[in-house]
Structure 1
Amino acid sequence: MTRVVVVHGVGQQFLGKGVLHSAIGLAVLDGLDNAGLETSGLTPADVSVAFYGRVFRQPGTKDLSDLPLIEEIEDDFETALLRVWWEGGALQEPDRIESPERSGSKAPVPRSVQHMMEALTRSRSMTKIAQRFLLGSLRQVNRYLNETGIRERAQECVSGAVGADTRVLVGHSLGSVVAYEALCAHPQWPVTTFVTLGSPLGIRNLIFDRLRPPPVAGRGEWPGGVASWTNLCDVNDVVALVKKLGPQFDPPGGWRRVKDKTLDNGWKVHDLIHHLTDSDTGRAVAAGLRL
């Protein structure tokens, strides 16, 4: 019986569903406990992981050989998304990150990419992330949004995890995009509660405007049969650049259905486990399960 499905974020291609579940299942229960809520018999067995990382794994690779080098970043989408993150990071952490305007950086790729990378790795959200991992994350976002086969296979992984008893769908980082599109494509699913963690869904032009189905008049389609949507992100998370998704996804007419909240994840601002163990996440999951 799967009551909660968690869709992971980028950079998990060398792991697997079992490895991820060992931490994620317990983290969901810890979120409930940190919120002071009873689990009412909920166990890690009631939590499933929609593992789509395998769709990004290159056959025969065992190391970082499939992650791009700075010199390989020539794609306009990847460069634009990196710049948006840089600009957002400079606004959020001017004490650490110099703004693009102040830097005067107008160098061509790859020197401009190097400049953006150096700026971002000074941020609180990127301090512990190696440059190649960050560039690999850019590549995965790009491939999901722009390669039909990747998109379809990732969503099939979500479809395979959702069952008749699933009431809560949690999406982290790129996984929130995968989960959102899967919900829109399957309005018949029994999922009533959607929880997004560290989500880039609101980044216009690069992500929001490339969603399927596409937004209409600047507003994204409401995800399937969901009754409640809670969006959580760390205030310093540059991946979740747009902190409030309500203005872009709430139904017209002033009816607020997305609950936007910021939290403090410490030095791991974008970490999935830190998100799941937060009390606000616990309360959102509990509400979906009516605990």
Structure 2
Amino acid sequence: MTRHNVVIVHGVGNWRPEALPEEAAAALADEWSTGLAAGYANARLGHVPPPRVHAAYYADLLNDADAQAAQEDDVDALGPGERELLLAWLQAAGLPPEPDDGQALGTMPIRQALDWFARRRGMPSRALARIAVALMPEVYIYLTSPKRRGAARDVVADAVRATGARVIVAHSLGSIVAYEALHAHALPGVELLVTLGSPLGLPDGVFEALDPAPPGGRGSRPPGLARWVNIADPGDLVAVPRRLGDRFPVDSHHEEHIATLDFHTMRSYLSCGLTATALVPYLS
């Protein structure tokens, strides 16, 4: 029976301070079950029952209840480390080292860099600022706080062991957490890893900070993993670089325009037929 369980590891923006961790996990699992059912329908797999979804919820470990919340587009509230990570992300996504009149990226005000990039991508600068403010703090805290990092990886391992799941689906920051959890814990039952909108290969910010450190400039395969599938929307600004196979032993990489506006949401990726197609061989 356990072969029909899937553990899903969330990305940023899923903290639910009003709920207990187990309540937040159950609510997320309900939402994701609906999205995955849509993905099965889009893949014309309506005759196949979708798996039981379990959420590995760790957002509470990366957020403090007494921390003062910044406005959703207030990039000036980001700390120095978060700003460095943001600039590395923008450059990996296409911002040149000297984007304006020879001014070096490192000396350019952060909001000016965001505005420049947003104009080139044809999107509102406030929308890009909201993505940055939502993404950078949790990623930075995870990468720089060993205690919280270890606890988040433990959450993933505990969810896999409790459910006996053979499949992990990991989105955004969750792909970093899942990758490291598979390395840090003995989880021989996990056969398939599906990464969605993953920033695992982000240079000068994420890739070099991975644990274990990538040997020879290439990430290693988690022990015992039979298959790794990566899915990225070409318009997903978080999934940079999109082709994880250039830096990791990914077995199958797919790019598909999933959504125009919600290009990075978990629901959009789960509703994509590619995700359902990747899961079915390991759940039947």
Q: TM-score, normalised by structure 2?
A: 0.84
Matches within 5 A, 1:9-158: 9-14=11-16, 16-38=24-46, 40-43=48-51, 46-60=52-66, 64-65=69-70, 69-75=74-80, 77-90=81-94, 101-104=98-101, 105-106=103-104, 112-122=109-119, 123=121, 129=127, 131=129, 134-158=132-156
Superposition deviation, residue 128 in structure 1 = 7.6
Superposition deviation, residue 270 in structure 1 = 0.9
Corresponding residue number in structure 2 for 1:284: 278
**What secondary structure does 1:217 align onto?**
helix
Superposition deviation, residue 285 in structure 1 = 1.1
Of Structure 1 and Structure 2, the greater helix share is in: 2
Q: Would the alpha carbon gap of residues 41 and 133 (structure 1) be closer, same or farther in structure 2, given more than 3 Å must change?
A: closer
Alpha-carbon distance in 2 for matches of 1:82, 1:198: 17
Corresponding residue number in structure 2 for 1:95: none
Alpha-carbon distance in 2 for matches of 1:126, 1:10: 21
Deviation above 6 Å: which 4+ runs of structure 1?
A: 124-128
Please give the per-residue CA displacement for 1:121-163, whole angstroms capped at 9, x wherever unaligned: 5547887847355224211111101111110121122122113
**What secondary structure does 1:54 align onto?**
helix
Q: Would the alpha carbon gap of residues 248 and 132 (structure 1) be closer, same or farther in structure 2, given more than 3 Å must change?
A: closer
Matches within 5 A, 1:237-256: 237-250=236-249
CA-based RMSD of the aligned residues comes to 2.8
Superposition deviation, residue 113 in structure 1 = 0.8
Gaps of 5+ in 2: 18-23
**What secondary structure does 2:203 align onto?**
coil
**Identity fraction in percent:** 30
Q: Would the alpha carbon gap of residues 130 and 242 (structure 1) be closer, same or farther in structure 2, given more than 3 Å must change?
A: closer
Please give the per-residue CA displacement for 1:225-281, whole angstroms capped at 9, x wherever unaligned: 11010001111222111111123222xxxxxx5211111122211111111111111
Bigger mean CA offset, 258-267 vs 177-186: 258-267
Please give the per-residue CA displacement for 1:161-214, whole angstroms capped at 9, x wherever unaligned: 113530110110000000010111124331100000000011123111111111
**What secondary structure does 1:139 align onto?**
helix
Q: Would the alpha carbon gap of residues 196 and 165 (structure 1) be closer, same or farther in structure 2, given more than 3 Å must change?
A: same
Superposition deviation, residue 68 in structure 1 = 9.1
Q: TM-score, normalised by structure 1?
A: 0.82
Alpha-carbon distance in 1 for matches of 2:32, 2:138: 22
